[in-house]
Amino acid sequence: MSEQTALSFTDEVLETNCIFCALCKDLLRPPIMLVENIGNVCSVCFMGEKRNNQKNLNNSALETIIAILKLPCKFKAKGCKARLGYEDLMLHQNNCKYRTKLCSLFKISGCNWEGSAADFVNHFKEMHGDHVINFENNLFYLQTSFNDLDLVKLLVMRSHTYILHMQTDLCKKKLFYLICNVRDDSDVFYEYSVKHKGSSHNYIKTKSRILPASNIYNDYIDESVAVEVDLESLRQIAQVSDTITNIFKIKVDSAQPDGIDEKMLHFFECPVCKNFMKPPIYQCQSGHSICNICRPRLEKCPTCRSMFGTTRNYSLEGLTSGVQYPCIYHDLGCSEMSTANKIIKHESECPFKPYTCPFPNCTSSGNKQTIITHLRDFHPEGVIFSGTPGYTETFRLDQNTYYNKVVERKCVIAFNHIFRLASKRVCEHCLWGAEVIGCTSQLNNFVYEVAIVDMRRPEKKLIKTDYCLNEMSEEELFKRCIMFPNNILTSYCNHGMVTFHFTIKQK
Provide mean pLDDT across the span 34-39: 83
- Per-residue CA distances from 179 to 251, 252, 449 (Å): 13, 14, 51
Provide mean pLDDT across the span 455-463: 89
The CB-side HSE value for 136 (13 A sphere, CA atoms) comes to 15
Q: Which of 2-11, 298-307, 321-330, 494-503 has the highest mean pLDDT?
A: 494-503
**pLDDT in the model for residue 178:** 93
Is pLDDT of 400 > 70? no
pLDDT class for 133, splitting at 50, 70, 90?
confident
Is pLDDT of 482 > 80? yes
What's the rounded Cα separation, in Å, for the pair 352 and 346?
11
pLDDT class for 259, splitting at 50, 70, 90?
very low
Identify the helix (H) or strand (E) that includes residue 489: helix 486-489
Nearest C-alpha neighbor of 355 from the set 364, 343, 346, 347: 364
Is pLDDT of 296 > 60? yes
Nearest C-alpha neighbor of 125 from the set 148, 150, 156, 167: 156
Is pLDDT of 403 > 70? no
Identify the helix (H) or strand (E) that includes residue 150: strand 150-157
Give pLDDT tens digits for 414-454.
888 889 999 888 878 899 999 988 776 666 788 999 999 99
- Top pLDDT among 282 and 335 is at 282
Give pLDDT tens digits for 161-200.
889 999 999 999 999 999 988 876 676 778 888 988 876 6
Identify the helix (H) or strand (E) that includes residue 10: helix 3-15
Give pLDDT tens digits for 210-230.
988 877 766 678 888 899 999
**pLDDT in the model for residue 256:** 42
- Per-residue CA distances from 501 to 390, 450, 472 (Å): 7, 6, 23
**pLDDT in the model for residue 500:** 92
**pLDDT in the model for residue 258:** 43
Nearest C-alpha neighbor of 260 from the set 191, 200, 324, 345: 324
Is pLDDT of 1 > 60? no
Report all structural domains of the chain as residue ranges with CATH numbers, in order of start. Answer: 3-95 (3.30.40.10), 101-251 (2.60.210.10), 276-348 (3.30.40.10), 355-506 (2.60.210.10)
Taking CB atoms within 8 Å and a gap of at least 24, the contacts of 183-187 are 183/117, 183/213, 184/95, 184/96, 184/97, 184/99, 184/117, 184/212, 184/213, 184/214, 185/97, 186/212, 186/213
Burial of 244 (0-12, 13-18, 19+ CB in 10 A): buried
What's the rounded Cα separation, in Å, for the pair 365 and 358?
10
Give pLDDT tens digits for 307-359.
887 888 888 888 887 788 888 887 666 778 888 888 888 887 787 788 888 88
Is pLDDT of 254 > 50? no
Decide: 420 and 472 in contact? Cβ < 8 Å: no
Burial of 76 (0-12, 13-18, 19+ CB in 10 A): middle
The alpha carbon torsion through 350, 352, 354, 358 (nearest 10 deg) reads 70
- 3-class state of residue 413 by DSSP: strand
At a CB cut-off of 8 Å and minimum separation 6, what does 151 contact?
108, 142, 144, 164, 165, 166, 167
Identify the helix (H) or strand (E) that includes residue 87: helix 86-95
Give pLDDT tens digits for 55-104.
778 888 888 888 888 888 887 877 788 888 887 887 777 667 777 777 77
Decide: 450 and 432 in contact? Cβ < 8 Å: yes
**pLDDT in the model for residue 49:** 56
Decide: 485 and 505 in contact? Cβ < 8 Å: no
Identify the helix (H) or strand (E) that includes residue 246: strand 243-251
Is pLDDT of 464 > 50? yes
Decide: 41 and 27 in contact? Cβ < 8 Å: no
Q: How many other β-carbons are positioned within 10 Å of the β-carbon of residue 152? A: 20
Cis before 326? omega within 30: no
